[in-house]
Structure 1
């Protein structure tokens, strides 16, 4: 273990995880060298701009660039004198449904070519169980250098990353006790609480279990919604009334489950366990249920639309909320459930005009997503026969549902994946209908609609 404090850090991969970590560390006094192969990202960073939305990020980014504590380039400099390398590259699922590790292997080789005796490598990318020891270690060992190694998973929430990096406990799993102590000392400069675990594999598992357990909890809430749809009662009422003042029930609300972690991490967990002869049945069932939800809802909407006299063969359909979540606000489209909803709508309504609105995502990104961008929420609703609220951004809950549907054609359907207006007492205008997930048989106080 190197004596003294590691002051100079190299962060490899400046996506959401890497850039927020790099800026937080630079803001805490580290000298941070960021590495990113995407030229567009580097060009924006040269202007002091981030390539994604995160509250407070650009102000801090500009500050640490001005102070000289953060720089970004495409490759690790040949004469790099830093003592710590942190791997934060992405590990998306490939077309075959298996986790891609090519980026992890690539950066491990790059680090190996610059490794010095006594350096510390920290794995932060979410990986299949055993990846650090089976793939990364042999690549580093080929350098012939002595090194410390730890796995310290990323655990922040998009929209709160800069705050949570300074507050959340940091999990540290070292290959040796010395490596664990060293990585703990590093992260203690960011957060007051470090949780040291027995080994690298335990730290790898914690990250995957954290996200898989959330996916399972949301899946059960969505199963409750399916059950209540079948019975003709409100899932929201069942959930909220059932847990009010009752400490042994803590169900979340139903809704779309996606994003850059939940849509892939259960699969990564299952892949690693399959190699050890174990299939996580509950994890996989929960993921399938959450993945099936968009097509199930669209089938319901197709049947409902077909029962309405005058519903057009070529409807305008508005998708409201394209980012994978709305609270905290983000413009992240990775793993957004708007994608499978859009795909299902194209199958169900092949002649539809498809329009999109998001309070944060740029219109150009909405267009690249495959939708006609609407500049405002009101413009998105204008002339639509069907509108779907897909995330929980405050722009939707701030709207008056009775006014929201006014610009729609008749008959009109407003479908709400998030039960945005459950607490409201309202009457829908004639010829319109509001339906929320988990209340398919019990729409909220509708007035008459042609059928």
Structure 2
């Protein structure tokens, strides 16, 4: 627990999204006096009732605890009279319509900090940013205040669904202009995690964050490229991946699948943009992103062709999309960057007269309805009478679902398409008139027409 004598115990976190909220609650739970700044009224309304605005294991309970202990407050402004000595900026950095990273929210938050800044305060940028943002965007705004301050870039690297655990376990990267500043930031984060890693510049820390997510994006892209090849052959990509790495330590290819979410769909573009400004074209990074972004179009085209090849497939089919959050393990209700959206858009363009349903193990019915789908209360309700059911994320409920029973409830002809290879398509025994097809196994489709 934080000692009363610690000088940097008063912290202001600007931006209470997934990154800011989990950090603010974790710091308050560690003993810091935390004030959160958020401009979105719906989030503040939920906080006023002691509730977070998203699903994260353990967050609601810890939020109620720190609110009850008086260690966490919140509002629309930093409330300068609180005399915070540490400001942590965690606001979003979405891409604009041209695919370039926006910094307007970072600039606005930094201006708020500048209005409250006192000599000797510490400013930590935690948002995912383009190379050079700490020194080239944030610092000049703070310099204009005329105050003396310390500045560092300390990236967030937690996994949604286990953020509170990872805040206390993962090493925290510290990027600062001097060792004194790095030591100060390291001491602050040292009350959360036992390991901090000090690097020589803010740019180094900025690049580490972008490399972390881009590495995963490129790795998934290679797997999806192999799935493309397997789709054209009577070969299962899942079998290639699973058998190929069994007992063989030098290949660790993941299963193919949709690649999205608030980080992986965005961070490679931010890295490419920053590298280009330094005269470097990241060709592998760009190619990997292209493969992953093309997948919804390719799969929707396959499903449309398959439906057209089936005798009796209706002109107004019922189509169910299952697993709408951007990932299922660890589970989350986050729809930001979900690949369910481009898949839905591509399917809707090819099946304009379809009736649409949606099911997710975590996402609330009102969010499913806002997505453009009629919510189903269960998988059974989602597939009953459907002609096509598409499994879009890797939530455990799909691994254990009773596939033959669910297929028996479908209309005929009916088929289940699985982006995540939960079952071996060669071994499933389904009722007549139904089929199971997995990504990377298009060439091995076995469809038994009803008699």
TM-score (norm 1): 0.97
Quick check: 1:51 aligned with 2:53? yes
Equivalent residues in 2 for 1:109-148 (5 A)?
109-148=111-150
Equivalent residues in 2 for 1:17-416 (5 A)?
17-416=19-418
| Distance (whole Å) between structure 2 residues aligned to residue 87 and residue 100 of structure 1 | 15
Measure how far apart 1:276 and its partner are: 1.1
Equivalent pair of 1:10/1:86 in contact (CA under 8 Å): yes
Measure how far apart 1:420 and its partner are: 1.0
Measure how far apart 1:332 and its partner are: 0.1
Specify whether residues 91 and 343 from structure 1 end up closer, same or farther in structure 2 by C-alpha distance, changes over 3 A only: same
| Distance (whole Å) between structure 1 residues aligned to residue 205 and residue 96 of structure 2 | 24
- Larger mean CA deviation between 389-398 and 319-328 belongs to 389-398
Residue ranges of structure 2 left out of the alignment (5+ in a row):
none
1:400-450 deviation per Cα after TM superposition (whole angstroms, max 9, x unaligned)? 11011111100011000000123994301100010000111124xx56225
Provide the residue aligned with 1:421 in structure 2: 423
Measure how far apart 1:372 and its partner are: 1.1
| Distance (whole Å) between structure 1 residues aligned to residue 241 and residue 368 of structure 2 | 34
Equivalent pair of 2:37/2:75 in contact (CA under 8 Å): yes
- Larger mean CA deviation between 230-239 and 50-59 belongs to 230-239
| Distance (whole Å) between structure 2 residues aligned to residue 7 and residue 425 of structure 1 | 59
Equivalent pair of 2:88/2:124 in contact (CA under 8 Å): yes
Equivalent pair of 1:12/1:34 in contact (CA under 8 Å): yes
Measure how far apart 1:43 and its partner are: 0.9
Provide the residue aligned with 1:448 in structure 2: 448
| Distance (whole Å) between structure 1 residues aligned to residue 165 and residue 139 of structure 2 | 32
Equivalent pair of 1:170/1:195 in contact (CA under 8 Å): yes
Instruction: Tell me the SS of whatever aligns to 2:442.
Output: coil
| Distance (whole Å) between structure 2 residues aligned to residue 186 and residue 148 of structure 1 | 13
Equivalent pair of 2:55/2:332 in contact (CA under 8 Å): yes
Equivalent pair of 1:197/1:203 in contact (CA under 8 Å): yes
Q: Which runs of 4+ in 1 moved over 4 A?
A: none
| Distance (whole Å) between structure 1 residues aligned to residue 389 and residue 302 of structure 2 | 14
Specify whether residues 403 and 234 from structure 1 end up closer, same or farther in structure 2 by C-alpha distance, changes over 3 A only: same
1:324-374 deviation per Cα after TM superposition (whole angstroms, max 9, x unaligned)? 011111000000000000000111111111111101000100111111111
- Larger mean CA deviation between 390-399 and 200-209 belongs to 390-399
Equivalent pair of 1:215/1:257 in contact (CA under 8 Å): yes
| Distance (whole Å) between structure 1 residues aligned to residue 199 and residue 323 of structure 2 | 39
- Larger mean CA deviation between 17-26 and 170-179 belongs to 170-179
| Distance (whole Å) between structure 2 residues aligned to residue 73 and residue 435 of structure 1 | 50
| Distance (whole Å) between structure 1 residues aligned to residue 16 and residue 98 of structure 2 | 26
Specify whether residues 124 and 307 from structure 1 end up closer, same or farther in structure 2 by C-alpha distance, changes over 3 A only: same
Measure how far apart 1:397 and its partner are: 1.3
| Distance (whole Å) between structure 2 residues aligned to residue 448 and residue 396 of structure 1 | 23
- Larger mean CA deviation between 303-312 and 398-407 belongs to 398-407
| Distance (whole Å) between structure 2 residues aligned to residue 177 and residue 423 of structure 1 | 57
Measure how far apart 1:22 and its partner are: 0.4
Equivalent pair of 1:80/1:114 in contact (CA under 8 Å): no
| Distance (whole Å) between structure 1 residues aligned to residue 148 and residue 178 of structure 2 | 13
Equivalent pair of 2:10/2:33 in contact (CA under 8 Å): yes
Aligned residue pair count? 447
Equivalent pair of 1:156/1:164 in contact (CA under 8 Å): yes
Equivalent pair of 1:12/1:88 in contact (CA under 8 Å): yes
TM-score (norm 2): 0.97
| Distance (whole Å) between structure 1 residues aligned to residue 115 and residue 178 of structure 2 | 23
Residue ranges of structure 1 left out of the alignment (5+ in a row):
none
